[in-house]
A and B are shown apart, each in its own frame.
Chain A
Amino acid sequence: MSISQTTETHAPPSKLLTGGKKLATSFVVILTTLLGLLVITFVVGRMVPADPVIAVIGDQADQATYDRVYKEMGLDRPLYVQFGNYLSDVVQLDFGQSIVTKKPVAEDLARVFPATMELATLATLIGACFGIPLGVIAAVHKGTWIDHTARVVGLLGYSTPIFWLGTIVILVFYAHFGLIPPGGRIYVYDEGLVQARTNSIIIDSILAGQWQVFWSAIHHLITPAIILGYAAMAYLSRMSRSFMLEQLRQEYILTARAKGLGQRPIVWRHAFRNIRVQLLTVVALAYCGLLDGTVLIETVFAWPGLGQYLTSALFVSDMNAVLGSVLLIGIISIAINLLSDIVYRFIDPRTR
């Protein structure tokens, strides 16, 4: 090795180089995560006792039909070849075909994901709009009845199973009082009135000027979103409370009080500013959790989203659909985390 080369190797990296290296490292980590996710799902999927061929042809079919479909589905090849083929298709953005819908999985995901996104987004908004102020107020009034009430409300939301709560809400507000719809995204008779452009019924109905469908969609969305939002609120209020308590113990707060600043500016202008980055992280986490955790609420409210798509695919060993859904969830989680990373930099100069 020449001296010049050694010198080059030990030279301090430029800012640009460090940034590039960081980017490359992140990229490798993301790819490895996604690959790991796919490998595990693929292997677990193959260990499930359900026979995907029988799921397609039915129990009564003869052996010749079975063998033919077995080959058609590529199951006669070794597992690693099957996975290799799948991977090379995925790289070309081909996620294969679902055995249930008989459509490309990518097309199915484009149809079901907006439904989940509508639900998770509204739930996160509800959770954040109520949970954060509740947590902050509880922290400010620590030890008083306000704090105790907020904590009880939070604890209930934290510990109540969503499945149970959803069922009770349907029993009371649908079956008994007839105030809410039974489930689904819109009334079945409103189907077909709006052409699917974005697959978000709210947006599509606005674009089409179909206000009957729009209200039908809002009417169906609000109950599951409130239930999910309540769970998110519980989590966010607890986190906000503890972040805020920590800030309120800091010396700069004491200084601010000594300067004669009022309670409201101290809390909202000073303390709250300093917990924004932490809050952003937990809101992002809550959003991720809601995007991939709506399975139960989607089942209770017959919400045709990603959770329902994934579970029904699992039951019939529709592996392309399962792998596609898992991959999408992985990508979304990573994307939200990356996005919150970027937003930090705008909010908090120290992280730049």
Chain B
Amino acid sequence: MLRRNLAILASVAALSLGTGVATAKTPQDQLVIAMAMSSIRGLDPQEINQFEAAEVVANLYDRLIALPPDRITEPQPSLAESWTVSEDGKTFTFKIRQGVTFHSGNPLTARDAEWSLHRLVKLGLAPSTDLRQWGFSAKNVDQLIRATDDYTLVVETPGVWNANLILYSLGSFSTSIVDRKLLMEREKNGDWGREYLQSADAGSGPYSLETWRANQLMSADAFENYWQGKPAMRRVFISNMPESSAQRLQIDAGDIDVATRLSSTDLGGLERDGKVTVQKTPGIGFYYLALNQKDEILSNPKVREAFRYLIDYDGLAATVMKYYGNKQQTIIPAGLPGSNTENPYKLDIDKAKQLLAEAGYPDGFSKVYYATPVTPEFEVAQSLQANAAKAGIRLDLQGGDHIGKFRNREFQLFSARSGDRLPDPHAVLQSYATNSNNSDEAKLTGLNAWRTAWEVPKDIQDMVVTAAHETDQEKRVELYHKINEAYLAASPALVTSFQRTDAKAVRTEVKGYVGHPTWLTRWDTVTKSE
């Protein structure tokens, strides 16, 4: 019996192994991207708020404005072929491109643009902050954002803001233009088609959704009638692959074209082999350490300063952060107006000890330290824990999802990584350097400065507000330089150590897949060489 079973099994195995092996490489006209898909919560552009979901939405939809990855701060025409800004800086008039159609076949007009922006503000979900922060609300949006004819959209801002801030917002995934007619047909109980859009698309982008199986697979087909021409890749797949090692093996074998979730070790190994290019895309955010200012010890400026000497910037930069961050101790992300390359701090245990002694804690102290247990955040936290111990600070490092406690100020030390979507210093400064009301009741839980209970020096807060309203770009850059210096000198309760970079491995034969700082990586620019 055993012999017979062995024979059967051997023949089935041989038969199955003999099939399919030859088809292991990705086809020439298809792109396969590996992702950890569990973070993608539906595909509604006016609801999602995650890095991975944004890439899908970026390709199913278009926006009024395009922000090219290599010129991220220069708004370019997209669905809006041109625009003008009134002299008072409050009225933006967009000319909508004619002849554009949605995947459904419906023509795209200014009415769709108006409806999409109203939808974003009125649904009031997380990404609605992209418009709400400029003063738009469910009450005023009908008057302030309106289509005056089929191809003209007028956007009036309640106050005067720097024009770029408004244009950047209109280039964010949340302001994607959706198919009004289709969604009104699919609307259920006044939900603006929200249920439908969880697993469908209503866009005009270069790709139309073919298959969506949450947490498993997405496939999208090139849109024949795309206004910029049909993309080269006939079909794009996103395959759920949360494991770094699996992604490494498969990109090495050519079963996937792009790997998006690789550890530093795997990225290093792949880069050495030469089959892939590792892209390091700078993001609008930081790896930061938050010291709760409600804690008596941590609110001492000398203690805060001591922590800046306990981070091993150079050691981390050469190892775990090699692909995930660029050393940066100032607050304006490199590449944006007002940024500078000044990094005056380095690991110096003796200096930290001296500062602790001056603060009245020569023997150190003990604190609980929350950090997210993912690479590279946790390795960064472990490094700090080890260096702090040398200076006498005993940190009880606890991994876990503690972001809720951070939002509610229920922590002592916390470290994580942030990411914003507007390619402007204001995006980061608003969260790190403004806190208009530091009381518990204010519940400004969206701001890192409030979460840290940090009374940001008033001059810094004033400068951040002034710069956002400043229409003269030169004056604005000058202000950001000043803010950068003042923040560095303030011994901030939010200590930045690295600017976030997002690393992706791309097979060398794949051209034109370019990581985007505000998460809008496009597939229609991709081609494959032999």
Which residue, of B13, B216, B243, B245, has the highest number of chain A Cβ atoms within 10 A? B216
Query: Interface residue tally of chain B, by bracket?
Result: 35 or more
Contact check, A102 vs B214: say whether CB atoms are below 8 A apart. yes
Output the least CB separation between B355 and chain A (Å): 31
Pick from B106-114, B121-129, B320-328, B477-485 the stretch touching chain A: B121-129
Contact check, A65 vs B125: say whether CB atoms are below 8 A apart. yes
Cross-interface CB contact of B402 among A49, A65, A101, cutoff 8 Å: A49
Given A66-B445, A175-B253, A191-B219, A61 and B30 contact (CB-CB distance below 8 Å): no
Contact check, B13 vs A226: say whether CB atoms are below 8 A apart. yes
Residue of A nearest to B36 (CB): A312
Given A56-B41, A316-B38, A219 and B19 contact (CB-CB distance below 8 Å): yes
A130 at the interface (CB under 8 A from B): yes
Output the least CB separation between A106 and chain B (Å): 14
Give the residues from 345 to 391 in chain B that come closer than 8 angstroms, CB to CB, to chain A. none
In the assembled complex, 21 residue pairs joining A and B whose CB atoms fall closer than 8 Å, in A order, are A50-B404, A54-B404, A54-B407, A57-B49, A62-B444, A65-B128, A98-B214, A103-B214, A129-B9, A167-B245, A174-B249, A175-B249, A175-B252, A182-B249, A188-B219, A218-B12, A218-B15, A226-B13, A302-B240, A308-B215, A312-B242
Cross-interface CB contact of A187 among B20, B444, B445, cutoff 8 Å: B20
Q: Which residues of A contact B26 (CB under 8 A)?
A: 189
The interface residues of chain A, by DSSP majority, are classed as helix
A239 at the interface (CB under 8 A from B): no
Q: Which residues of B contact A316 (CB under 8 A)?
A: 38
Residue of A nearest to B450 (CB): A63
Given A63-B443, A222-B13, A49 and B400 contact (CB-CB distance below 8 Å): yes
| Partner-B contacts on A (CB < 8 A) | 49-51, 53-66, 68, 98-103, 108, 111, 126, 129-130, 133-134, 137, 167, 170-171, 174-175, 178-184, 187-189, 191-192, 215-216, 218-219, 221-222, 226, 299-300, 302, 304, 308-309, 312, 315-316
Given A49-B400, A54-B404, A60-B49, A181 and B5 contact (CB-CB distance below 8 Å): no
B403 at the interface (CB under 8 A from A): yes
Q: Which residues of A contact B16 (CB under 8 A)?
A: 215, 218-219, 221-222
Give the residues from 19 to 62 in chain B that come closer than 8 angstroms, CB to CB, to chain A. 19-21, 23-24, 26-27, 30, 32, 38, 41-42, 49-50
Residue of B nearest to A170 (CB): B249
Cross-interface CB contact of A219 among B20, B210, B400, B443, cutoff 8 Å: B20
Residue of B nearest to A50 (CB): B401
Cross-interface CB contact of A58 among B32, B38, B126, B242, cutoff 8 Å: B126
Given A100-B215, A179-B17, A216-B20, A189 and B125 contact (CB-CB distance below 8 Å): no
Complex interface bits, B195-222 against A, C-beta within 8 A gives 1, otherwise 0? 1001100000000001101111101000
Cross-interface CB contact of B24 among A101, A103, A178, cutoff 8 Å: A178
